[in-house]
Chain A
Amino acid sequence: MLKTRDLLIEIGTEELPPKSLKSLATAFSEQMCLALNEVELDFNDSSWYATPRRLSLLITDLDITQKDKEHQRRGPSLSVAFDKNENPTQATVGFAKSCGVEVKELEKLESGKGAWLVFNTILKGKKTNEIIPGLVEKSLGRLPIAKRMRWGNYNIEFVRPIKWILILFGNKTLNCEILGIKSGATSFGHRYHHPGALEIKSPSGYSDILRNKGHVIVNYNERLSLIRSQISSVAKNSKGNAIIDPGLLDEVTSLVEWPVSFIGNFDQKFLKLPKEVLIATMQDNQKYFPVTNDKKELMPLFICVSNIESNNLELIKKGNERVIRPRLSDAVFFWEWDLKYGLKNHRQSLKEVVYQKDLGTLYDKSDRLVKTLSLIGEKINLDINSAKTAAALCLCDLLTKMVSEFPKLQGTMGRYYAKAEGENNDIAIALEELYQPRFAGDKLPKTLPGQCLAISEKIDSLIGIFSIGKAPTGDKDPFALRRSAIGILRIIIECEIDIDLKDLLSTAASTFSNKNQSLNCINDVYTFLMERLRHYYRDEGFSADVFESVFAINISRPLDFHHRMVAVAEFRKLSEAKSLAAANKRISNLLKKSEEIDSVKIKNNLLVEKSEIKLARKLEDYKKIITPMIDNHNYKSALTELAGLRKVIDNFFDNVMVMCDEPDVKKNRLALLSNLNFLFLEIADISKLQD
């Protein structure tokens, strides 16, 4: 049995980017494991550690050498290996020489495919500690680093300057040089609590020594949980609840090695600011966690996670309070300035902001939205005037001081400023809802004007960007059009807006100044949307054949499409589904094969067999029942009814020969089947269903 040891690697650096720390550390560990697998070194387990100043990993029970391996090199074919006199040919001598052996040491390999001279040898496995440096360097080279940097006078590139490298294999230092840095057995503790070197004696003792002597909690997830519980208890002490944004929690975990959380105050007067502004100031600018009371209202408090156990925490608290005050004062300044200036007054200035080269300014865009909305409004029951007002106002907040300071508050500030200007609630809310859904799984607009505005804006982006030839390709989607497309579909389906996509597209396309371009791309955008619809249903757990069955009949109203999807998915569960699907497949094959039938009219006098007479009669009955159901989009009942046809259809196929010799009877039978087929196709192409 091979011996194993634990391997510890720590890359000490200057402060790493907090938003990518976790992905860097996990990638380092993954890449290292991958590299070990590639060289066939086994190990038991791997764990990763990450702090602002280190990326580390621990691999347990790693082989200390590679296994020996049998190796065979194939030389010349036997037919050319020796001459007539049984002397080795030039090729054989050369091969033996290249293997470093005499010809007599070569062996013969014979198989069904031929016979060759071969050289069999055993490759000694390399020692792991000789291999590791190369693997570490390779793994570091594969990290997902957005921008690599250089420093000093070196020709090395990494995410931040490397300060030290610690490698322990078993209890021994593995001496080597990686990215120009000599490895050793020392780590370093917290920047201020223990700036000096820390001897690490064994890989397994790493995290304890760092914690107990170094004031560093190297385990990322442990640090994250600690911070979360500190924040909650600090908030509780002030009778509040902390708002813990998961992204911020990750960021803060990546900014500290020794978290110490505390609560600070800000002036009550700032609570008059919109709560989104207060939260953005605290979270984005200062990495603070906001606190709410029982009624979910913000309290004039913030929680800060510091990186030091100071003997004068009051000093740190006061310092932070001194910082948030001017930040909030600035926010008040922006708020009051924007209120004074007015939202409407930005409309004309939108003419100066280019939306997209070739697609005009933001003003042009908002103008298109006004037009699109009026046209949509004619089709559904929408208060056109408020919708138009909303469309005219919706991009104005992009020019406010608050949104230039906090771009993510676009829409939200529009809502506040519109309300302050006396616009009605629906309009104000629509301005914010325009941007929804902002991400996968985000909430959808609640108001009809908001829904229509959100759809119009997204359709406008799709057509615009497609028309200038910048449609998404592969994994490149710089304008996030896939998200826009899903947004449109989700709103239409989940908010139940019965609107035709093709209509919508030509309506929106007609508002562009370069109509040639915009009208030309309608089909592409439609295909793109349908492709997204396919993904939508896949994510919603519908099976692919259900989608295909509805997709096949070209339904361009997504809401209608959806009703059919639900009905077919239900139908698919019925015991009759399988044989009806098979029957439909058979019918469509028959119809495909046969020449065109001149008439789909069934001539009763040509019906011969009992089972076809029965089918024809049933068909008539079912048509009468089902047509009104389909008209009412009650596809589920329609399909449930149609399931009742199974027996008659099965009987038909069991007893009737469709492609019979008598041409008129045959034609009539095909007409009968065509009618049947048509009845199903009114709902979906059931023949697409798979077992």
Chain B
Amino acid sequence: MAQEKKQNSTDGSGLSFQELIFELQKYWANQECVIVQPYDMEMGAGTFHPATFLRTIGPEPWRTAYVQASRRPTDGRFGENPNRLQHYYQFQVVLKPSPDNIQELYLISLKAIGVDTKKHDIRFVEDNWESPTLGAWGLGWEVWLDGMEISQFTYFQQVGGLDCKPVTGEITYGLERIAMCLQDCSDLFELAWSRTKKAKVTYGDIYHQNEVEMSRYNFDLANTDALFNWFDVCEKESQKLIEEGLSIPAYEMTMKASHSFNLLDARGAISVTERQRYILRIRSLSREVAQSYLESREKLGFPLVKN
């Protein structure tokens, strides 16, 4: 599987990776979404970003869109697999309450990035989402573009163990996969990140070395004793902060614990039995954070609720 040369990357056609982001941001900004910035911490998915996890809690309406890096240490392939990365990007859209035309809005966004919905086979295939660590679940679909899963679509039913009222609609675009379709490219390291008349910078130019070195760290070198210890520290900190009524730093500690767990998992340091216990520990933090955040917003009078 090593470094197969792509045969069919057609330069010049399709949006570059950065243009793809620009277009999505522009499109969703026009749909009243606040474009926030990536969170400055490691996380497994865009859903962990407080702009999703915390904002879906409680009655306040909210619309946002942003890019978020996802880190999934176990998915690393040392830069040798043209389809897998341990660090990749999601474009996250959060619409609360979910509008009646949410599917149509999504399909128009595809047109905005150059997908002709009359030429391609685009389908909504049932995929119900559950995040055991976030105590969250929802119903929805993965969206298939010619058989490729390019997005996930979820109506949140519960977050942090709390019922979602109103329901948030979450759309997560897998940016690399979409770019591969748009650029007709079968090696993600060959994707054009930016493309001008003068030069092309590829995804690989920016991230290949990162994949090689991070895979090595994740799989072989991460200090497991330190990570186990760090997990405990973060858990305690989080609990302490919840007692202080500080849900936001408490949540950051939860995320740190969660990432430590992911690294330990990649290192193979957690047995199958223990694994479940660690997940439950993170979930119980998430639940307490959610409850605490709800209370703090209530104290503030749910400021985003109009009228």
Contacts and interface: CB of A to CB of B under 8 A. Distances in A.
Contact of A320 (B83, B147, B165, B180): B147
Contacts of A307: 121, 123
Given A18-B126, A150-B157, A152-B100, A329 B139 contact: no
A152 B97 CA distance: 5
A352 B157 CA distance: 34
B1 A332 contact: yes
A306 B1 CA distance: 29
B141 interface: yes
A147 B126 CA distance: 13
Contacts of A325: 186
B142 to A, nearest CB: 11
B121 A316 contact: yes
Interface string B89-109: 000000001111001000100
Interface stretch (B31-39, B112-120, B283-291): B112-120
B132 interface: no
A189 to B, nearest CB: 13
* Chain A to chain B: the 7 pairs with minimum beta-carbon distance, closest first: A319-B146, A326-B83, A320-B147, A15-B124, A306-B121, A352-B271, A153-B166
A445 to B, nearest CB: 28
Contacts of B122: 192, 308
A192 B118 contact: yes
Contact of A15 (B8, B141, B180, B184): B141
A19 B145 contact: no
A319 B167 contact: no
Contact of B272 (A286, A326, A352): A352
B139 A160 contact: yes
Contacts of A329: 1, 81, 83
A308 B120 contact: yes
B124 A326 contact: no
Interface string A299-342: 00000101110111001101110111110011011000000000
B167 A151 contact: yes
16 contacts: A15-B125, A18-B126, A150-B164, A150-B167, A151-B167, A151-B169, A306-B146, A310-B121, A319-B147, A319-B148, A323-B147, A325-B186, A326-B83, A329-B1, A329-B81, A330-B81
Nearest to A322: B186
B128 interface: yes
B81 A310 contact: no
A151 B155 contact: yes
B167 A152 contact: yes
B58 to A, nearest CB: 13
B181 interface: yes
A19 B147 contact: no
Q: How large is the interface on A (under 10, 10 to 19, 20 to 34, 35 or more residues)?
A: 35 or more
Interface string A336-371: 000000000000000011100000000000000000
Given A161-B155, A319-B146, 18 more contacts: A14-B124, A15-B124, A15-B141, A147-B128, A149-B139, A149-B157, A150-B164, A150-B167, A255-B125, A307-B123, A310-B118, A310-B119, A311-B119, A316-B121, A326-B81, A329-B1, A352-B272, A354-B273
B120 A255 contact: no
A326 B84 CA distance: 9
A152 B101 CA distance: 10
B126 A17 contact: yes
B273 A353 contact: yes
Given A310-B119, A312-B119, A15 B126 contact: yes
Contacts of A320: 146-148
Contacts, number: 118
Interface string A12-27: 0011111100000000
A322 B97 contact: no
B121 to A, nearest CB: 4
B138 to A, nearest CB: 8
B82 interface: yes
Which DSSP category, helix, strand, loop or mixed, fits chain B's interface?
Answer: loop
Contacts of B148: 319-320, 322-323
A465 to B, nearest CB: 19
A326 B121 contact: no
Interface residues of B, number: 44
A354 B121 CA distance: 43
Contacts of B139: 147, 149, 160
Interface of A: 14-19, 52, 147, 149-153, 160-161, 163, 191-193, 255-256, 286, 304, 306-308, 310-312, 315-316, 318-320, 322-326, 329-330, 332-333, 352-354
Contacts of A14: 103, 124
B146 A316 contact: yes
Interface string B123-160: 11110100000000011010001111000000101000
Contacts of B107: 191
A193 B117 CA distance: 9
B305 to A, nearest CB: 12
Contact of A192 (B8, B117, B164): B117
A385 B85 CA distance: 46
A255 B103 contact: no
Which interface residue of A163, A312, A316 has the most chain B CB atoms within 10 A? Answer: A316
Contacts of B124: 14-15, 52
A671 B145 CA distance: 85
A152 B125 contact: no
A251 B227 CA distance: 44
A323 B148 CA distance: 6
Contacts of B164: 150
Contacts of A147: 128, 139
Nearest to A53: B124
Which interface residue of A17, A153, A255 has the most chain B CB atoms within 10 A? Answer: A153
Nearest to B270: A352
Contact of B147 (A149, A152, A163, A304): A304
A151 B123 contact: no
B144 to A, nearest CB: 9
Nearest to B104: A195
A149 to B, nearest CB: 4
A23 B254 CA distance: 42
Which interface residue of A15, A19, A325 has the most chain B CB atoms within 10 A? Answer: A15
Contacts of A163: 100
A318 B8 CA distance: 10
A676 to B, nearest CB: 63
A319 B180 CA distance: 10
A580 to B, nearest CB: 61
Contacts of B118: 192-193, 308, 310-311
A298 B117 CA distance: 33
